[in-house]
Amino acid sequence: MTLTRRDFAKLGTLTLAAGFAPLLHAQPSAKKTGYAVIGLGRIAGHFMPGARNTTNSQITALVSGHRDKADRIAAEYGIPSSSIYNYENFDEIAHNPAVDAVYVALPNSMHAEYTIRAAKAGKHVLCEKPMSTNVADAEAMIAACKAANVKLMIAYRCHYEPTNLRAVKLIRDGALGQVQAIESSFGFNMGPNEWRTNKKLAGGGPLFDVGIYCLNACRYLTGEEPEHIAAFASTIDHDGRFSEVEENVSWTMKFPSGIVASCNTTYGAPMEGYYRVHGAKGWLEVDQAFVYEGLRLRADFSGTQLDEPNPARDPSQFQAEAEHFSHCVQNNLEPQSPGEEGLRDMGYITQIYRSAGIAI
Amino acid sequence: MTLTRRDFAKLGTLTLAAGFAPLLHAQPSAKKTGYAVIGLGRIAGHFMPGARNTTNSQITALVSGHRDKADRIAAEYGIPSSSIYNYENFDEIAHNPAVDAVYVALPNSMHAEYTIRAAKAGKHVLCEKPMSTNVADAEAMIAACKAANVKLMIAYRCHYEPTNLRAVKLIRDGALGQVQAIESSFGFNMGPNEWRTNKKLAGGGPLFDVGIYCLNACRYLTGEEPEHIAAFASTIDHDGRFSEVEENVSWTMKFPSGIVASCNTTYGAPMEGYYRVHGAKGWLEVDQAFVYEGLRLRADFSGTQLDEPNPARDPSQFQAEAEHFSHCVQNNLEPQSPGEEGLRDMGYITQIYRSAGIAI
């Protein structure tokens, strides 16, 4: 791939955005990056068609405990039976030349093990968020990928999503003037018997799963790292869903410049993911901000009103992140949301839980 | 005035709302309650036409340091020259039988002095929010009014405003199911040389002035008192406006039931006053929620979508609060937002500032 002058200019502007991603449009390459998808749950069902829509990525292997399901998907994606693995024989993937990278779409607490095993097998790793369930695992994942000389990217969709990038660019370009405050929230009403309410698998409640979007958004919107964090957590509904993890978390953060942010997350109520950013010259809102489609940016600053619904449809966000990671793999570039980005969120999540009196 | 059966039914339902106000429609009464307006600034300019629109209230005296201004307003309201006072001869108001009550619309730190002097003059007191600049003053105001056997109401407009009452009623009626979390913010970009950035006059920054709406809303929306509060404050702009008070405050609260709330307030950015309430069955939003007109409620719960713009125009909110207080005066009833309500907010404001490391 060759970067055009325009690509370089974009790169220059956007990398000011504290590691926020330039949308580099990958050129068709001779060899597509082949992915083994580990865990064939809901989110893999978005990633696989997303990757298929790219010009530089393809699904070449599956890892699952459910052979029937894997067989069905393999047929759909033209994956040979010999490239279907289970959790016992997973390490044999090292000998599969069709697999360049893995996409880790397992329950949170299994991210570390499979990232590290994939790295040892010599495969690059695109790992879902949250990166892990604690800081130590995140550090071990980074170390394992470094030792194996493979790339590690955390699948922060919003870093590669045009409406979120547009919000960041408006802020960096000064449209809002000095930013003062942000609100953000994201949650939903959790069904019964989900692995996400099993602390061993999930690490915690909505903060790990959806609150992380608000946390990460406050960081990319400001381009700063939170310096102070205070939080409360609660469980109101005692109906069996929340015997292990919290139901609600509310937290406030203060950034080095003085920008403040207040956030909520819940597993007990429908809570559209959104943020509002308030600057001296006006405000912008993305609502919804964190869903797979239907994003909308509105803003009002210096006499300008914006209302920009994003017509993109799922799985475009997964396409964009697959494209970016494959581009990095093919051109030996560091991903815009590397392991270190996930590690930082793990640190802040730990602080939030500690402030709320919850051990993780 | 006679309460109809319907009024009683309403009263029964609405007083469940933790002291939130039933909208009793005052009957025409023989004698209107006469108000002396103390301080002829911006907000008095809303209150006076509001009171004029009622059937039970009238402006009968003015208190001002600016005689020219007072003369102009007196002519407009048919107030005799003998009923214009200044801050030196204010106490003579005791001898003015046309004055039943005062409306205190002075800078925050003067609320206590004039409430207490009015009480000693035997006049009922409708005092603007924030009630005072500290808890001790608020307590002294309540004690003075009790000792003088006069009524004290804090002018919390939203307690008498139909869209806010509608939100409370939807919540109390269970439309949202169990409430889990609330977001609320309110602020604006402060101009230079305002008394509201003078700590001696204002007591503090945006939290006293506009953040109090968010705090109070979280209390009336939940019907609960916050049990835990954590906050950060900051000043980003060093342009002379914020040499005495903070520019931004962000805080989070946890209520006894487990409901959490996150709030922002600022003097550094346009920040429409709003709240979002998230319950198990859906959400409601009032945006804007705290302005004089143009309020709008939207909600989505159990298959019902609401979009209710409120067509009421300023000064209808001031009319409603004057009507309520006059009704209480005429019928010897306790106002729905008595001094104790203001005192509670003063206590929480003190906690917020302490948590943010600001002495008040």
The 10s digit of each residue's pLDDT in A160-183 is: 999 999 999 999 999 999 999 999
Please tell me the distance from the alpha carbon of residue A260 to that of residue A179, in angstroms, as a whole number.
9
Are residues A249 and A265 in contact, defined by beta-carbon separation less than 8 angstroms? yes
Residues B103 and B175 in one domain: no
Residues A196 and A286 in one domain: yes
Sequence length of chain B is 360
Domain contains A334: no
Virtual torsion, Cα A199, A203, A208, A210, nearest 10 deg: -40
Residues A234 and A298 in one domain: yes
- Give me the interface pTM, i.e. the ipTM: 0.91
Least-confidence region, from A26-30, A347-351, B211-215, B325-329: A26-30
Residue A113 — very low, low, confident or very high, per pLDDT cuts 50/70/90?
very high
**Which residues from B are below 8 Å from A265, CB to CB?**
181
Domain contains A322: no
Domain contains B352: no
Q: Measuring CA to CA, which residue among A105, A98, A86, A94 is closest to residue A44?
A: A105
Residues B236 and B132 in one domain: no
Say yes or no to pLDDT of A9 above 60. Answer: no
**Which residues from A are below 8 Å from B187, CB to CB?**
180-181, 278
Q: Tell me whether residues B260 and A250 touch, CB distance under 8 A.
A: yes
Q: Tell me whether residues A262 and B257 touch, CB distance under 8 A.
A: no
3-state secondary structure of B326: helix
Residues B185 and B252 in one domain: yes
Answer left, alpha or beta for residue B302, where phi above 0 means left and psi between -120 and 50 means alpha. left
Residues B122 and B192 in one domain: no
The contacts of residue A26 (CB under 8 Å, 6+ apart) are: A1, A54, A55, A56, A323, A324, A326, A327, A330
Domain contains A331: no
Domain boundary among B155, B175, B209: B155
Domain boundary among A113, A135, A155: A155
A213 part of the active site = yes
pLDDT on residue B28: 56
A146 part of the active site = no
Please tell me the distance from the alpha carbon of residue A258 to that of residue A179, in angstroms, as a whole number.
9
Q: Tell me whether residues B270 and A278 touch, CB distance under 8 A.
A: yes
pLDDT, mean of residues A8-29 = 45
Residues B253 and B110 in one domain: no
Q: Average pLDDT per run of 10 along chain B, which is 360 residues long?
A: 38 40 54 98 98 98 98 98 98 98 98 98 98 98 98 98 98 98 98 96 98 98 98 97 97 98 98 98 98 98 98 98 98 98 98 96
Q: Which tokens belong to B94?
A: 């005791």
3-state secondary structure of B79: coil
pLDDT in tens, A276-292: 999 999 999 999 999 99
Residues B17 and B162 in one domain: no
pLDDT, mean of residues A313-340 = 98
Are residues A59 and A116 in contact, defined by beta-carbon separation less than 8 angstroms? no
Please tell me the distance from the alpha carbon of residue A42 to that of residue A106, in angstroms, as a whole number.
10
Domain contains B115: yes
DSSP state at residue B203:
S
C-beta neighbour count of B151 within 10 angstroms:
23
Domain contains B336: no
Residues A144 and A197 in one domain: no
User: Which residue's structure tokens are 């912008």?
Assistant: A284
Are residues B249 and A206 in contact, defined by beta-carbon separation less than 8 angstroms? no
Domain residues for the domain of B181 are 158-314
**How many domains, in total, are found in chain B?**
2
Domain boundary among A95, A126, A155: A155
pLDDT on residue A27: 56
Are residues A340 and A142 in contact, defined by beta-carbon separation less than 8 angstroms? yes
3-state secondary structure of B296: strand
> Which residue type, as a one-letter code, is found at position A201?
L
Residues A190 and A53 in one domain: no
Virtual torsion, Cα B229, B232, B233, B236, nearest 10 deg: -160
Residue B45's domain is classified under what CATH number? 3.40.50.720
Are residues A153 and A127 in contact, defined by beta-carbon separation less than 8 angstroms? yes
Q: Which chain B residues in 295-314 lie under 8 Å from chain A, judged by CB atoms? A: 300
Are residues B264 and B286 in contact, defined by beta-carbon separation less than 8 angstroms? no
Cross-sheet strand order for the sheet of A268-279: A228-234, A248-254, A260-266, A179-189, A268-279, A282-287, A296-301, A304-309
Chain A contact for B12 (CB, 8 A cutoff): no
> Which of A246, A255, A260, A288 should we substitute to test contact with B (largest number of B Cβ atoms within 10 Å)?
A260
3-state secondary structure of B80: coil
Among B180, B250, B355, beta carbon nearest to A236? B180
Please tell me the distance from the alpha carbon of residue A252 to that of residue A264, in angstroms, as a whole number.
9
Q: Which residues pair with A248 in a beta bridge?
A: A234, A266
pLDDT, mean of residues A341-355 = 98
Are residues B42 and B343 in contact, defined by beta-carbon separation less than 8 angstroms? no
Q: Which chain A residues in 127-166 lie under 8 Å from chain B, judged by CB atoms? A: none
pLDDT on residue B24: 55
Of the ranges A3-17, A193-207, B21-35, the best mean pLDDT one:
A193-207
Q: Tell me whether residues B178 and A237 touch, CB distance under 8 A.
A: yes
Answer left, alpha or beta for residue B53, where phi above 0 means left and psi between -120 and 50 means alpha. alpha
Q: Identify the H or E element spanning B83.
A: none
Residues B188 and B86 in one domain: no
Q: How far is A44 from chain B (nearest CA, A)?
A: 28
Domain contains A12: no
Q: Sign of dihedral through CA atoms A278, A282, A287, A290? A: negative
Chain A contact for B34 (CB, 8 A cutoff): no
pLDDT on residue B360: 84
Write down the catalytic residue from A35, A213, A274, A275.
Answer: A213
Domain contains A333: no
Residues A210 and A232 in one domain: yes
Please tell me the distance from the alpha carbon of residue B40 to that of residue B73, in angstroms, as a whole number.
9
pLDDT on residue A18: 39
Tell me the backbone φ, ψ of residue A161, rounded to 5 degrees.
-105, 130
Q: Which tokens belong to A2?
A: 């060759």
Mean of per-residue pLDDT scores for chain A: 93
